[in-house]
Structure 1
Amino acid sequence: MKKFKKLFAATVISLAMLVAAGCGDQPTNEDQGDADNGGGDEVVTETPGDVGDAEITLEFWNGFTGPDGEDIAKIIAEFNNLHEGEIAIRTQTMPWDNFYDQYRTVVTAGEAPDIAIMHLDSIAGYARYDLLTPLDDLAADIGLEDDDFIPEVWDAGVYEGHRYGIPLDVHPLTLFYNVDLLEAAGYSEPPTTYDELVEMSLAVQEATDGDAWGIAMPVFWPSNMIFYSSLMSHGGDSVSEDGLTPLYNTEIGYEALQKMVDLVYEHEVSPSDVQADGEVTLFRQGNSAFHINGIWMIAGFEQQDGLNFAAAPVPTFGDQEAVWAGSHNFVLPKQNDEDPERLEASMKFIQFVSENSLQWAKAGQVPATYSVLESDEFKALEHQYNASQQNFVFPPSTPFYGDAWGPTGPAVDEAMLGQLTPQEALERAAREGEENARDAAEN
């Protein structure tokens, strides 16, 4: 297993406009990534498995509305069957773009669920406003040990010296490639560097007489996840440690973004007019050799008839190996009146899922625990295992990170469309990001 370097990371859209109750009103890029798994607009409540008359029924909120919802339901059913008559988990599933508003509302009203899933980039904002229960003692009581977790994702669940999240998974950006198109161009292995990506893309376009693109670069999301990976690969910084000052508006930042733009306008290996999700469609149809997106795309690509694809680490755009990564975390919402028995039952469930997360990995995730990550069963999941062989970049534990980083989203898009130079785009983003972060901190 590669050693995971300690790098700080980013999300792509502001994790919050911190208002009144002080939490995020907007979905993060991770939210959108999950939505790509498929989704719905309804709130679904169910109790998987045979539960009987359980002594304790716990409410578990999550946003797994796509195929991943079926996988988490299987895990919950196993837990409910194992604890029949003792503990039952009842899930309430809703789209991520509604999840955080609903969460804030019920917690402030004293009607919080017992357990919830929260994206790593959102934890600090909710902890700041006392909407989460500290987990330090509870995690220790059930024997969750930090040395079994990827250190960077485990450490990222801490805010101001207290733990608020227990990681369920890691979901990094991943390179997907069309095996048949590469073979037709004379290659058996995917690119590992930017130059190799350009070289192979040109070769595919020549081998197919222009019928297929080398790569379709997204104009919209997840374009600035790719920018963040490029920025880190070039040795750049995202924001200051306190999250208040953008640090991406530098010569390194301009170069990192220019590399992406050059794939379209200089090397001409990507179309310039990609519509929203157009890059996904091109790859699904076999009309592009490479596609950079989240690991969550695995399930959808596996269901695509005639698509012979594989997954690999994202090529390094600079001199360092680094890729954006997010994580789903278990959190315990703040209760008006804490019940020790319910807290203990909640932690039993979290421990069970952590120890049995191979099923969840099959949904298109990287396990957060080494005990599963290094197992033969996980290594047999070829796409997920290949995606795990990267140096992950996680968000810092600050409530203001998304505010300072968020404006890079539209800025990167305008650069990719040729409407602004990378320098113009990042200068504007930095001005907006600093203002956003300062306003959020003051309010």
Structure 2
Amino acid sequence: MGRRGFLRFGLAGAGAALAPGLLSACASPAASGGANSLRVWDLFSGADGVLMEEMIAEVTRGPDAFEIDRTILEWGSAYYTKLAMAAAGGRAPEVAVLHLSRLAGYAPGGLLEPFDMELLAEFGVREGDFAPAIWQRAQWDGEVYAIPLDTHPFVYFYDLDVAERAGLLDSDGALVEMGSPEAMLAASAAFAEAQGGIGVLFGHVTDPAQNWRLFNGLYAQTGNTFSLPDGGEPEVDIDAATEVVSFMQSLFDGSTNPNNLDYDGAVAAFTDGRGASIMVGEWEMPGLRESGRPLGAAPFPNVFGKPAVNADSHSYVLPRQENPDPERRRQAHRYVAEMLKRSLAWASAGHIPAYQPVVDDPAYAELDPQSSYAEAGEIAVLDPPTWFTGSGSNFQIRMSSVMQSALLGDTSAASAAQQMIDESATLLDQPNPVV
């Protein structure tokens, strides 16, 4: 079997994550067949990969069926390098998936083509169908370059029985509001006492993103913006940043809550019943639920006053092609619209559908615990919009490394905040390799 054949739908659709060494620097040749024959790239493996395969299977049936040549690439820097190279060479697929937080590294450099919103409206998808918090990040220089499929936020999962014993459920059976650092610390102590062990689990040691995800949401709750203007200096309130890191140190003090867990260790501790709650991405929901614990979930607690939750969005984009076929481009718009309309299936993995008609569907309200944190999509905060940030970026790695030292007690909160600003300034001094 040739290299391209190995990457095609049959094997890739089984959810295999493919090593970057298996991939060439350019996309496969132009799709054969009619205008509804499309090449699609994504980065979904495991359970997400299987769900995506099921959704694609639905649109490949019926009188208006698509012929989809699906390629799964390994998620992370390898995927984004591959996509950039293919688009720069004009040999990209008709449709690809991009984390919305990475858009600023692609749209300005001409690696993507904007969507035709009139054409999307013809297929039933309009601006008003998306939460403003996500939709505003789908645009660049006045044009729409990405159509969000979902919002995947940082979520607070907890054991419902333990929360009830701790007195942390309201009259509707939902987690009580926190509202302040002191209230969050008190809730953590109550969780720990009711659990007979750990109140809040958080795995961050050697993780490339966890500390940044926690910090980014909390910092936005202070009402400040972590701004990284091109050609300028970081615009960060160091006092607010210090306050957030200090709170993180207080919450994970090594006593009530451990401060030295890695990601897998934290997830295992929760599924094994050794902790009352866990701060983690919504994508862990299926595994946490399979543990058998009565699982509750809530948008990340509002600790500093302004509702905000760290999040990202898997979005569809139209990579640049040297000689795009107009009718095939039209069918690419139709494909994106059809996939959004089927995103209730995508929600079964924990993701919040970005297409609001699906969120408003009574069937979504019946999904438990997914529907309990649906409002996180309305208060989502992504990475600062610049070329070096976003999911899988070196920026997240460097920020998380700095905060790891603070949580492990190797540096102060003030020093960590200053180091984050200094690291950001260093990255801002580097030229954008695409533009």
TM-score range relative to shorter protein: 0.7 to 0.9
- Mapped contact 1:149–1:369 kept (Cα < 8 A): yes
Q: Which residue of 1 aligns with 2:405?
A: 414
Q: Which residue of 1 aligns with 2:28?
A: none
Question: CA 1:244–1:78 in structure 2 vs 1: closer, same or farther (change >3 Å)?
Answer: farther
Deviation at 1:440, TM superposition (A): 2.7
Counterpart check, 1:285 vs 2:272: yes
Code of the aligned partner of 1:346: A
Q: Which residue of 2 aligns with 1:229?
A: 217
Q: The residue matched to 1:440 in structure 2 has which SS?
A: coil
Q: Which residue of 1 aligns with 2:202?
A: 217
Match of 1:310 among 288, 291, 296: 296
- Mapped contact 2:155–2:297 kept (Cα < 8 A): yes
- Mapped contact 2:150–2:353 kept (Cα < 8 A): yes
Measured in 2, the distance between the counterparts of 1:204 and 1:258 equals: 21
Q: The residue matched to 2:324 in structure 1 has which SS?
A: coil
Match of 2:85 among 105, 111, 123: 105
Q: Which residue of 2 aligns with 1:180?
A: 161
Question: CA 1:109–1:384 in structure 2 vs 1: closer, same or farther (change >3 Å)?
Answer: same
Q: Which residue of 2 aligns with 1:239?
A: 227
Measured in 2, the distance between the counterparts of 1:207 and 1:147 equals: 44
| Structure-2-length-normalised TM-score | 0.83
Measured in 1, the distance between the counterparts of 2:234 and 2:334 equals: 40
Code of the aligned partner of 1:174: V
- Mapped contact 2:95–2:316 kept (Cα < 8 A): yes
Q: The residue matched to 2:256 in structure 1 has which SS?
A: coil
Q: Which residue of 1 aligns with 2:120?
A: 139
- Mapped contact 2:184–2:303 kept (Cα < 8 A): no
- Mapped contact 2:215–2:244 kept (Cα < 8 A): yes
- Mapped contact 2:100–2:137 kept (Cα < 8 A): yes
Deviation at 1:240, TM superposition (A): 4.3
String of CA shifts for 1:273-319, please: whole Å, max 9, x gaps: 21342211111111111111111111121222x32211112112212
Match of 1:206 among 182, 187, 193: 193
Deviation at 1:367, TM superposition (A): 1.2
Question: CA 1:297–1:83 in structure 2 vs 1: closer, same or farther (change >3 Å)?
Answer: farther
String of CA shifts for 1:248-289, please: whole Å, max 9, x gaps: 3511110011111001238x3211321342211111111111
Q: Which moved more, 1:400-409 or 1:123-132?
A: 400-409
Q: Which residue of 1 aligns with 2:256?
A: 269
String of CA shifts for 1:331-386, please: whole Å, max 9, x gaps: 01100101011101111111111222111111211111221112211111122211
Question: CA 1:182–1:388 in structure 2 vs 1: closer, same or farther (change >3 Å)?
Answer: same
String of CA shifts for 1:9-41, please: whole Å, max 9, x gaps: xxxxxxxxxxxxxxxxxxxxxxxxxxxxx9633
Counterpart check, 1:121 vs 2:98: no
Counterpart check, 1:41 vs 2:1: no
Measured in 1, the distance between the counterparts of 2:137 and 2:195 equals: 45
Counterpart check, 1:425 vs 2:379: no
Code of the aligned partner of 1:57: S
Counterpart check, 1:364 vs 2:361: no
Measured in 2, the distance between the counterparts of 1:355 and 1:239 equals: 34
String of CA shifts for 1:386-432, please: whole Å, max 9, x gaps: 11123222345432555895432211111111111111112122112
Code of the aligned partner of 2:142: G
Deviation at 1:169, TM superposition (A): 0.8
Q: Which residue of 2 aligns with 1:399?
A: 387
- Mapped contact 1:264–1:271 kept (Cα < 8 A): yes
Measured in 1, the distance between the counterparts of 2:277 and 2:233 equals: 34
For 1:374-385, what aligned pairs fall within 5 Å after superposition? 374-385=360-371
Deviation at 1:182, TM superposition (A): 2.4
Measured in 2, the distance between the counterparts of 1:115 and 1:69 equals: 16
Measured in 2, the distance between the counterparts of 1:339 and 1:191 equals: 54
Question: CA 1:234–1:404 in structure 2 vs 1: closer, same or farther (change >3 Å)?
Answer: farther
Q: Which residue of 2 aligns with 1:190?
A: 175
Deviation at 1:244, TM superposition (A): 4.5
Measured in 2, the distance between the counterparts of 1:373 and 1:410 equals: 36
- Mapped contact 2:149–2:354 kept (Cα < 8 A): yes
Counterpart check, 1:59 vs 2:35: no
Counterpart check, 1:437 vs 2:418: no
**Residue ranges of structure 1 left out of the alignment (5+ in a row):** 1-37, 46-52
What percentage of residue pairs aligned between the two structures are identical?
28
Q: Which residue of 1 aligns with 2:66?
A: 87
Code of the aligned partner of 1:116: A
- Aligned pair count reads 394
Match of 1:336 among 322, 327, 330: 322
Counterpart check, 1:259 vs 2:250: no
String of CA shifts for 1:18-72, please: whole Å, max 9, x gaps: xxxxxxxxxxxxxxxxxxxx96335899xxxxxxx86642111000112011111
Deviation at 1:238, TM superposition (A): 0.6
Q: Which moved more, 1:160-169 or 1:384-393?
A: 384-393
Q: Which residue of 2 aligns with 1:322?
A: 308
Deviation at 1:105, TM superposition (A): 2.6
- Mapped contact 1:325–1:392 kept (Cα < 8 A): yes
Question: CA 1:229–1:397 in structure 2 vs 1: closer, same or farther (change >3 Å)?
Answer: closer
String of CA shifts for 1:135-183, please: whole Å, max 9, x gaps: 1354355453111111221121111222110111111111100123223
- Mapped contact 1:182–1:200 kept (Cα < 8 A): no
Code of the aligned partner of 1:430: I
Measured in 2, the distance between the counterparts of 1:147 and 1:186 equals: 39
Match of 2:110 among 100, 121, 130: 130
Measured in 2, the distance between the counterparts of 1:254 and 1:243 equals: 25
